């Protein structure tokens, strides 16, 4: 494993990420929206997560900037990125499939929105955000730069930290007791832990 191969693996992961999401995004346009919490804050959060997970590491892979923050490349760390990367891709696909027509990039409620409690949603309420964290971990392991390597974890952390509570409140407003009892049965992001 070399630094360039690690960068190619990271780029391959991104391409796979896009291939997984694209059909869901295309189909989602056909499903009517009942309510949306899409405001400046939502756009900003999505922008921050996209910048950390895709733009900053992509720019680093192309230019090597900021090289002053490079750390020594470790083949062992890069090899160990396969676990989180494959886990992220699997979970990303699985959570899209489980949410089905209820999925949306931003906080939206569809007409006839159903509360999903099956599949990976049986264990945690935010598997898609967990997949962002796993992607961020693989980015850290594959990209030997303190800024570009950690940017994904910071972006995923801000998205989760500033959005999950608002999302849960939106679900409580709509589903009431049904969502509260779902909350009591599940963990937020790490199965059986938290
Ligand atoms: N936070 C979830 C989903 C992210 S997608 C995760 O990390 O997996 C965001 C959209 O999913 C929100 O607009 C919300 O309407 C919808 N959503 C989140 N949890 C849901 C659930 N359990 N059932 C149905 N829709 C859900």
| pLDDT tens, residue by residue, 102-142 | 999 989 899 889 999 999 999 999 999 999 999 999 999 99
How far is residue 21's CA from residue 36's CA, in Å, rounded to a whole number? 20
Distance, CA 179 to ligand 1 centroid (Å)?
12
Q: Is the CB of 95 under 6 A from ligand 1?
A: yes
Give the model's pLDDT for residue 11. Answer: 95
Name the residue of 103, 111, 187 whose CB sits within 8 Å of the most ligand 1 atoms, as the mutation to test its pocket: 103
- Cβ distance 160 to 126 under 8 Å? yes
**What mean pLDDT is predicted for residues 70-78?**
97
pLDDT higher than 90, residue 185: yes
How far is residue 136's CA from residue 13's CA, in Å, rounded to a whole number? 11
**What mean pLDDT is predicted for residues 40-68?**
95
Q: Is the CB of 102 under 6 A from ligand 1?
A: yes
CATH number assigned to the domain covering 3-185: 1.20.120.1630
pLDDT higher than 90, residue 35: no
């Amino acid at each position: 494993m070399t630094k360039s191969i690690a960068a190619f693996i990271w780029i391959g992961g991104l391409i796979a990420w896009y291939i997984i999401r694209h059909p869901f995004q295309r189909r989602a346009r056909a499903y009517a929206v009942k309510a949306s919490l899409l405001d400046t804050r939502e756009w900003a959060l999505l922008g921050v997560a996209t910048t950390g997970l895709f733009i900053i590491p992509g720019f680093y892979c192309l230019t090597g900037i900021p090289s002053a923050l490079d750390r020594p490349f470790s083949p062992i760390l890069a090899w160990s990125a396969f676990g989180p990367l494959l886990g992220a891709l699997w979970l990303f696909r699985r959570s899209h499939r489980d949410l089905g027509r209820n999925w949306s990039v931003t906080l939206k409620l569809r007409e006839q929105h159903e509360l999903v409690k099956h599949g990976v949603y049986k264990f945690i309420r935010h598997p898609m955000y967990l997949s962002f964290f796993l992607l961020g971990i693989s980015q850290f392991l594959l990209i030997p730069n303190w800024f570009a390597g950690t940017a994904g974890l910071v972006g995923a952390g801000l998205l989760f930290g500033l959005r999950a509570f608002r999302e849960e409140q939106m679900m409580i407003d709509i589903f009431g007791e049904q969502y509260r009892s779902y909350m009591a049965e599940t963990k937020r992001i790490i199965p059986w832990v938290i």
